[in-house]
Amino acid sequence: MTAAVSEHISFNPEKLREKYREERDKRIRADGNDQYIEVTGDFSHYIDDPHVEPGFERDALQTRVEVLIIGGGFGGMLAAARLRDTGINDLLIVEKGGGFGGTWYWNRYPGASCDIESLVYFPLLEETGFVPKQRYTNATETLEYCQVIAEQYNLHNIALMQTQILSTDWSEEEGLWVARTNRGDVIKATFVIHSNGPLNRPKLPGIPGIDTYIGHTFHTSRWDYDYTGGGPFGGLDKLADKRVAVIGTGATAVQCVPHLAAGAKALYVFQRTPSSIDVRNNTDIDAEWVKSQSPGWHHKRRTNFESLLAGIPVKEDLVRDGWTEAFRDIFGELRQYRPSGWRLLLWSLGWAFSSARKERGIKQYLTDKAMIKMGLQEKMEMADFTKMEKVRARADSVVDNAQTAESLKPYYRQFCKRPCFHDEYLQAFNNPNVTLVDTDGQGVEAFTEKGVVANGKEYEVDCIVFATGFEVGTDYSRRAGYTISGVDGLTISEKWADGMATFHGLHSRGFPNAFFFGPQQSGFTATYTFALDENAMQTAYILGELKKRGAKRVDAAEKAENAWINTIKRVARQTEEFQKSCTPGYYNNEGHVEFESRNTFYGGGPIEFFNLMAKWREAGNLKGLEIS
Ligand code: NDP
């Protein structure tokens, strides 16, 4: 039976569920994260910095600071900004790149830009008074904005660039951390903030022959403009006589493929799983409108956006774009429905497939009355089906070749993978020089000396671009690129060998005075800068309180940490079925959903998590922390 959800969209939910299951099942691999190889040894050139002149040298430093911040991306910058606001100024930022920006420093591939509205994504907009030019900003403007923040908060003179931390060791005797760098520096710091980026370490597929291909290769996060010509806005003129392969079709590939298509003699796009490609519709921002907003508008806007994504009712959808559409569509009903708190929580999380629902007749979906009777999870699923049907219909309407259009349709729920928004990606497949190599979920099989093998066929190419993403879910130190040894020399890798153990995602017992920024056991937002800002504000609050109380040491209490782990596990279970239903990717640990490992974010959603933290701060008693 078909659900006619709107005049133009109709579908059979049961058939879609079956199709989603089939598509997931063909992609699940026993090796999960192990399918990727670490970028080290013979592969370490993949992470060389293309943005600095080689040969930079300086004398080694021996220094002592109050707070060492590892990472000069938005997390590190926000930490410094919020600490400065709290009156803590003895700071040192250590960054391996040649400048501020983190992910935006590295990812300067052609077309790199942000899908989250810039008025939501850019942090500190009210503090800096900066107005982005367009609704969806690009990597170049984002890097410029990082300079604005760095100047406003005087960060350049507290930063050590092109410097990689190798180790941080806790000295109980001295009550401080000792950090060593690849430039021979020894930095002693009372507190260390680890803001090394959740998507910092490029990954490569561990495919036979990866080391035998003799053509040119690079990873998208280290784009080789010397080879391709052009720049972040395209014009890849040196590719005119080149056959290029792109491996991967995630958010990065979606943005660079149109430029490769325009520049290369021939482009082969190797697809394992298609992304959801919705309308982007970028527009200019009215600076006068921004300036006319009342104080607090920025926090209100990002909270409104993330609330909608978390399924929390708001009076109005302030952003009104492709991210919020599915959620917006059911808000009218929600207002009539007046759900209780726990139902909202379930709705926000979830997504579970109940067997009861399967037995329900489709007619239930067709009238408002029935919609009100229907569980919130079911409504979410129907809204999701509707949304994804629109996305799939878009492929048909944009792509000329019907088979290619079919291959480009994603069959999973919108937030199983990072949704993409682009107005030139699908269109690129209409270019005669572009071939979509659909591997039907199996991926590239091998590399030869001359090219790429997929579906049993060799494609000879001059260059392979790896748009294969970043390590998530591997050992923390491996991703960070340095070791962390706490009390009695216990390393973070040892402590977290069987799963993360933190209090609020920020502290880990036995690693006093260390603060871990990131989404694990913490709030996970689509607007990643929002979560980092919350990390920064929480840290600044705690360090401010320690200062007031004359304390020099803070660690998570054992009981509080254990309780937090239990909370994480308990709340995570509510998203378990949804995660298991998804096609594999880094959002669901490559399809190996093991919440007992605790390596997951706070399952109640980021807004609930931020509210918990705000209440914790309001209580003012640092409950769960041992200070001395
Ligand atoms: P992803 O991890 O999202 O994508 C990696 C791609 O490589 C996937 O398509 C994956 O397929 C594919 N792949 C891996 N192994 C193989 C193989 N053996 N054969 C063929 N394909 C393979 O990385 P991205 O760099 O695209 O994006 C990372 C994140 O960065 C995004 O999720 C987003 O959070 C952020 N980002 C945001 C942007 C924005 O705001 N617009 C832009 C760019 C990045 P499969 O899906 O089957 O695993």
| Ligand 1 neighbourhood includes 272 CB (under 6 angstroms) | yes
Q: Of 288-302, 303-317, 584-598, where does mean pLDDT reach its minimum?
A: 584-598
> What atom of ligand 1 comes closest to residue 420's alpha carbon?
41
Question: Which of 9-41 are b and which e, b meaning 16 or more Cβ less than 10 Å from the residue's Cβ?
Answer: bebebeebbeebeebbeebeeeeeeeebbbbee
| Ligand 1 neighbourhood includes 114 CB (under 6 angstroms) | yes
Nearest CA owner, ligand 1 atom 20: 443
Find the 248 Cα to ligand 1 centroid distance in Å: 6
pLDDT band at 572 (very low <50, low <70, confident <90, very high): confident
**pLDDT at 366 exceeding the cut of 60:** no
**pLDDT at 343 exceeding the cut of 50:** no
Find the 250 Cα to ligand 1 centroid distance in Å: 3
> What atom of ligand 1 comes closest to residue 585's alpha carbon?
48
pLDDT band at 353 (very low <50, low <70, confident <90, very high): very low
Find the 609 Cα to ligand 1 centroid distance in Å: 27
| Ligand 1 neighbourhood includes 273 CB (under 6 angstroms) | yes
Q: State the alpha helices, DSSP H only, in 113-197.
A: 118-121, 125-128, 139-152
Task: Give the 3-state secondary structure of 541-566.
Answer: HHHHHHHHHCCCCEEECHHHHHHHHH
Nearest CA owner, ligand 1 atom 46: 273
Find the 224 Cα to ligand 1 centroid distance in Å: 19
Mean local confidence (pLDDT), 417-422: 95
Q: Which CATH architecture has domain 204-279+419-466?
A: 3-Layer(bba) Sandwich (3.50)
* Helix pair angle (13-27, 558-581), 10° resolution: 110
Helix (H) / strand (E) containing 106: helix 103-106
Nearest CA owner, ligand 1 atom 36: 251
**pLDDT at 69 exceeding the cut of 90:** yes
pLDDT at 374: 57
Residues 6+ apart with CB under 8 A from 608: 310, 312, 345, 348, 602
DSSP 236: -
Q: Of 198-212, 230-244, 432-446, 590-604, where does mean pLDDT reach its minimum?
A: 590-604
Ordered by start, the domain boundaries in the chain are 62-201+472-627, 204-279+419-466
- Angstrom distance (rounded) from CA 189 to CA 179: 8
pLDDT at 517: 98
Find the 470 Cα to ligand 1 centroid distance in Å: 8
**pLDDT at 422 exceeding the cut of 90:** yes
Exposed, middle or buried by CB within 10 Å (0-12, 13-18, 19+), for 94? buried
Tokens of 529: 């800068």
> What atom of ligand 1 comes closest to residue 249's alpha carbon?
9
Find the 274 Cα to ligand 1 centroid distance in Å: 10
Nearest CA owner, ligand 1 atom 2: 469
**pLDDT at 203 exceeding the cut of 60:** yes
- Angstrom distance (rounded) from CA 138 to CA 187: 35
Helix (H) / strand (E) containing 244: strand 243-247
Exposed, middle or buried by CB within 10 Å (0-12, 13-18, 19+), for 488? exposed
| Ligand 1 neighbourhood includes 467 CB (under 6 angstroms) | yes
pLDDT, one tens digit per residue, over 375-412 is: 777 888 898 999 999 999 999 999 999 999 999 999 99
pLDDT at 330: 60
Mean local confidence (pLDDT), 247-269: 98
pLDDT at 314: 86
pLDDT band at 371 (very low <50, low <70, confident <90, very high): very low
Tokens of 1: 């039976």
pLDDT at 329: 66
Output the average pLDDT for the chain: 91
| Ligand 1 neighbourhood includes 77 CB (under 6 angstroms) | no
- Angstrom distance (rounded) from CA 233 to CA 238: 15
Structural contact between residues 536 and 77, judged by C-beta atoms closer than 8 angstroms: no
Q: Which residues pair with 312 in a beta bridge?
A: none
Exposed, middle or buried by CB within 10 Å (0-12, 13-18, 19+), for 174? exposed
pLDDT, one tens digit per residue, over 87-102 is: 999 999 999 999 999 9
pLDDT, one tens digit per residue, over 97-117 is: 999 999 999 999 999 999 999
pLDDT at 354: 31
Distances (CA, A) of 347 to 309, 339, 353, 376, 528: 11, 10, 12, 5, 22
Nearest CA owner, ligand 1 atom 14: 468
Percent of the chain with pLDDT over 70: 91
Find the 415 Cα to ligand 1 centroid distance in Å: 14
**pLDDT at 164 exceeding the cut of 70:** yes
pLDDT at 344: 38
pLDDT at 99: 97
pLDDT at 283: 97
Nearest CA owner, ligand 1 atom 28: 469
Structural contact between residues 532 and 517, judged by C-beta atoms closer than 8 angstroms: yes
| Ligand 1 neighbourhood includes 418 CB (under 6 angstroms) | yes
CATH of 62-201+472-627 among 3.50.50.60, 3.40.50.2000, 3.40.50.300, 3.30.1360.40: 3.50.50.60
pTM of the full predicted structure? Answer: 0.92
pLDDT band at 574 (very low <50, low <70, confident <90, very high): confident
Task: Give the 3-state secondary structure of 35-52.
Answer: HEECCCHHHHHHHCCCCC
Same topology, domains 62-201+472-627 and 204-279+419-466? Answer is: yes
pLDDT at 364: 32
For a pocket test of ligand 1, which of 109, 199, 252 has the largest count of ligand atoms closer than 8 A to its C-beta? 252
pLDDT, one tens digit per residue, over 498-545 is: 899 999 999 999 999 999 999 999 999 999 999 999 999 999 999 999
**pLDDT at 2 exceeding the cut of 70:** no
| Ligand 1 neighbourhood includes 247 CB (under 6 angstroms) | yes
**pLDDT at 355 exceeding the cut of 90:** no
Mean local confidence (pLDDT), 189-210: 94
Mean local confidence (pLDDT), 410-436: 96
pLDDT at 376: 74
Q: Of 310-319, 432-441, 604-613, where does mean pLDDT reach its minimum?
A: 310-319
The 10 Å Cβ neighbour count of residue 403 is 10
pLDDT, one tens digit per residue, over 34-51 is: 999 989 888 989 999 999
Find the 615 Cα to ligand 1 centroid distance in Å: 36
| Ligand 1 neighbourhood includes 251 CB (under 6 angstroms) | yes
Q: Of 23-27, 57-61, 590-594, where does mean pLDDT reach its minimum?
A: 590-594
pLDDT, one tens digit per residue, over 473-497 is: 889 999 999 999 999 999 999 999 9
Find the 510 Cα to ligand 1 centroid distance in Å: 35
Helices (H), strands (E): how many in the chain? 23, 24
Closest CA to 76 of 103, 53, 49: 103
Nearest CA owner, ligand 1 atom 12: 248
pLDDT at 8: 60
DSSP 456: T
| Ligand 1 neighbourhood includes 252 CB (under 6 angstroms) | yes
Nearest CA owner, ligand 1 atom 25: 469
pLDDT band at 597 (very low <50, low <70, confident <90, very high): low
For a pocket test of ligand 1, which of 418, 453, 459, 527 has the largest count of ligand atoms closer than 8 A to its C-beta? 418
Find the 247 Cα to ligand 1 centroid distance in Å: 9
pLDDT at 225: 98
Nearest CA owner, ligand 1 atom 5: 468
| Ligand 1 neighbourhood includes 199 CB (under 6 angstroms) | yes
Closest CA to 153 of 62, 69, 61: 69
**pLDDT at 340 exceeding the cut of 50:** no
